[in-house]
C-alpha cells in the first residue's frame, strides 16, 4: 500500500480499522517531502515535530477505542497566507519573512478540533497575487507533472503538494482563480466555495470582497469532506454567512435531473482547441447519460477581467497599507517617510508594488468614478448574468483555464498575458458563486481542468454534481 496515494476517506477508514497509524501516515508524507521537495519546492516551511505530536495523540485515542473525526490524524498542507498560531506565516513575501502568526485562522481552529495534522505551509505568489507561483519571494514551485512548467497560482504550492503526494489534502485561497487554476494545471481537484461560506478570519487579506478559502484535494468526495468542516458562520468575519447547510451525504443527485449550461462566451478565441475538444467530449458524454445540456449566454463575461483588475488592486492597495515597516515585518528604519518608502519598496516584490500603484490610482480623487465606480457597476451586471443563468440551469460547465500549464518565464515579462490566464475564473469571484475544477483527459501529457459553477450557496449541490462529472470523466 502506498500511503502517499490515499484519499481522506481511505486514510480515515484505514486509521479506524487500525491498519495504519497516523504516525506512519505522517512519516510517509515527510519521507516523500524530504526526497522530492528539494526539486518541487511546494513548501515554505515544515512543522514536522508538531505534526508527529498531533499524529501520536490521534493514535493514542484510536488505540483506546475512541471514535475519531473524519480528518483526525490526516496530513494537511496549508497555504502560507493562512495563520497557524506559532507557525511562520509569510504569504511568500520578504516583508513578512520572519512573521510568526499570533493566532489561529478560524479554518485552522476548526481543523484542530478535528485533530488534523498540519505538515507545513505551502508556497504561493506573494500575497496571492499571480497565477504561476513565480511571484513568490522565496523562489517558484515546479509542477510535479512536468518540472519545466509552472504549477499555476497563486496556491501553486498547495496544488503541487497534493499532486506530488506530499499531503493528503491542502487549503488554498481563491480571489480570482487561485484554487481552481493551480488545481487544473496540476491535475487535482480545487473548490472555491460561495463567498461567505467559509470564514476569512486569519486569512491574510488580498481583496476582501473576493477572497475565499477552499480545499485542494485528490477527488470531489475529499473536497466535500474538508468543506463540511471549514464552512460556517463566524463571529470574527462579518461577511461569513449563517445558513442551514445540507449534507453532502444526503440523497445523491440524479443525472437525468441535472440541466447544465454551456456559456457560449467561454468557448471562443483564446481557448486552446485541444482543451475545448476534451471539455466538449465530457459534455457529450453527460448528454448521452441523460443530462440536459443547454447553451446559455453570460453576456458581461467579456468585461470580467477588466473589472476584476480594477476592483482587486483597489482592495489590495487598501489591505496592504498595513505593512508599513513599523507594525510588523521587514523594516528599514530611518525618518518616518523613508521608513515607509524603503520598507515597502524593498519588502514588496514587483507584482505587489504594481498592484498597489494601480489600486491607489483607480481610487484616487478624479479617477475613482471613471474606474472604480464603473467597475463596480460592471460587477453588478456580471452577478446578474449568473442570477439569470441559474434560473434556467443547475450548473455551468466551462474550462478552468484557456491553456495547460505554461513554462517558467513565459509570461513573467508581460503581466497582461499572465492576467489573461484568469479569463474563466475571475467572474465567479466577482459574482460570489461557488466553482470547482476537476481534472479531465490530459492534453499532451498535461492536466486539463473542467470548471463547474454553481448557484450562490448551492455548494453542496455543486459538489454532488461535480462527483457525477468526475465519475464520468474517468
Ligand atoms: N491570478 C489571479 C490574480 O493574479 C488570481 C489570484 C488569486 O485568486 N489569489 O489576481
What pLDDT score does 251 carry? 87
Burial of 128 (0-12, 13-18, 19+ CB in 10 A): buried
Evaluate if residue 474 carries a pLDDT over 80. Answer: no
pLDDT band of 289, cuts 50, 70, 90 = very high
298 is written with which cell numbers? 453570460
Mean pLDDT of the chain: 97
Q: Answer whether 439 contacts ligand 1 (Cβ < 6 A).
A: no
Report how far ligand 1's centroid is from the alpha carbon of 177 (Å).
6
Q: Answer whether 140 contacts ligand 1 (Cβ < 6 A).
A: no
Burial of 85 (0-12, 13-18, 19+ CB in 10 A): middle
Evaluate if residue 123 carries a pLDDT over 90. Answer: yes
Arithmetic mean of pLDDT, 388-416: 96
Which one of 132, 136, 154, 167 is the catalytic residue?
154
What pLDDT score does 391 carry? 98
Spatial distance between the Cα atoms of 127 and 363, rounded to a whole number of angstroms = 20
Burial of 270 (0-12, 13-18, 19+ CB in 10 A): exposed
Which one of 79, 461, 464, 467 is the catalytic residue?
79
Q: Give Cα separations from 342 to 34, 96, 331, 335 (angstroms).
A: 37, 15, 8, 10
Spatial distance between the Cα atoms of 249 and 326, rounded to a whole number of angstroms = 49
What pLDDT score does 328 carry? 82
* Domains of the chain, CATH where assigned: 1-474 (3.90.1300.10)
Mutate to test the pocket of ligand 1, among 81, 82, 130 (most ligand atoms within 8 A of CB): 130
Which one of 167, 178, 401, 427 is the catalytic residue?
178
Give residue-wise pLDDT tens across range 262-272: 999 999 888 99
pLDDT band of 329, cuts 50, 70, 90 = confident
Q: Which of 299, 137, 128, 90 is nearest to 210 (CA)?
A: 128
Q: Answer whether 131 contacts ligand 1 (Cβ < 6 A).
A: yes
What pLDDT score does 184 carry? 98
Active site residue 178: yes
Amino acid at each position: 500500500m502506498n500511503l502517499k496515494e490515499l484519499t481522506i476517506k481511505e486514510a480515515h477508514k484505514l486509521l479506524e480499522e487500525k491498519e495504519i497509524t497516523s504516525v506512519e501516515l505522517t512519516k510517509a508524507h515527510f519521507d516523500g517531502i524530504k526526497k522530492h521537495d528539494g526539486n518541487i519546492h511546494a513548501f515554505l516551511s515544515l512543522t514536522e515535530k508538531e505534526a508527529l505530536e498531533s499524529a501520536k495523540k490521534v493514535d493514542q485515542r484510536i488505540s483506546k477505542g475512541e471514535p475519531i473525526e473524519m480528518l483526525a490524524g490526516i496530513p494537511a498542507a496549508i497555504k502560507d497566507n493562512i495563520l497557524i498560531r506559532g507557525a511562520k506565516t509569510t504569504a511568500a513575501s520578504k516583508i513578512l519573512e520572519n512573521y510568526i502568526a499570533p493566532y489561529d485562522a478560524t479554518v485552522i481552529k476548526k481543523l484542530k478540533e478535528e485533530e488534523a495534522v498540519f505538515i507545513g505551509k505551502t508556497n504561493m505568489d506573494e500575497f496571492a497575487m499571480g497565477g504561476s507561483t513565480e511571484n513568490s519571494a522565496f523562489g517558484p514551485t515546479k509542477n510535479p507533472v512536468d518540472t519545466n512548467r509552472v504549477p499555476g497560482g497563486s496556491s501553486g504550492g498547495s496544488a503541487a503538494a497534493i499532486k506530488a503526494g506530499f499531503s493528503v489534502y491542502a487549503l488554498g485561497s481563491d480571489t480570482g482563480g487561485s484554487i481552481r487554476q493551480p488545481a487544473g494545471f496540476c491535475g487535482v481537484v480545487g473548490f472555491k466555495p460561495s463567498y461567505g461560506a467559509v470564514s476569512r478570519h486569519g486569512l491574510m487579506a488580498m481583496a476582501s470582497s473576493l477572497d475565499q478559502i477552499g480545499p485542494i484535494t485528490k477527488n470531489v468526495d475529499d473536497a466535500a469532506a474538508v468543506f463540511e468542516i471549514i464552512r460556517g458562520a463566524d463571529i470574527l468575519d462579518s461577511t461569513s454567512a449563517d445558513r442551514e447547510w445540507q449534507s453532502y451525504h444526503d440523497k445523491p443527485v440524479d443525472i437525468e435531473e441535472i440541466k447544465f449550461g454551456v456559456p457560449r462566451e467561454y468557448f471562443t478565441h483564446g481557448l486552446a482547441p485541444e482543451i475545448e475538444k476534451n471539455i466538449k467530449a465530457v459534455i457529450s458524454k453527460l448528454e448521452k447519460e441523460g443530462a440536459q445540456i443547454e447553451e446559455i449566454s453570460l453576456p458581461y463575461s467579456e468585461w470580467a477581467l477588466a473589472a476584476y483588475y480594477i476592483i482587486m488592486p483597489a482592495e489590495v492597495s487598501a489591505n496592504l497599507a498595513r505593512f508599513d515597516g513599523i507594525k510588523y515585518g521587514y523594516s528599514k528604519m530611518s525618518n518616518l517617510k523613508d521608513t515607509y518608502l524603503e520598507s515597502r519598496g524593498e519588502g514588496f516584490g514587483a507584482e505587489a508594488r504594481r498592484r498597489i500603484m494601480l489600486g491607489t490610482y483607480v481610487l484616487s480623487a478624479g479617477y475613482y468614478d471613471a474606474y472604480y465606480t464603473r467597475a463596480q457597476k460592471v460587477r453588478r451586471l456580471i452577478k446578474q448574468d449568473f442570477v439569470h443563468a441559474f434560473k434556467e440551469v443547475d450548473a455551468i460547465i466551462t474550462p478552468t483555464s484557456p491553456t495547460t500549464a505554461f513554462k517558467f518565464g513565459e509570461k513573467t515579462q508581460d503581466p497582461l498575458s499572465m492576467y489573461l490566464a484568469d479569463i474563466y475564473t475571475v467572474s465567479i469571484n466577482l459574482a460570489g458563486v461557488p466553482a470547482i475544477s476537476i481534472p479531465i483527459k490530459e492534453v499532451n501529457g498535461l492536466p486539463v481542468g473542467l470548471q463547474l459553477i454553481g448557484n450562490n450557496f448551492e455548494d453542496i449541490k455543486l459538489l454532488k454534481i461535480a462527483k457525477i462529472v468526475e465519475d464520468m470523466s474517468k
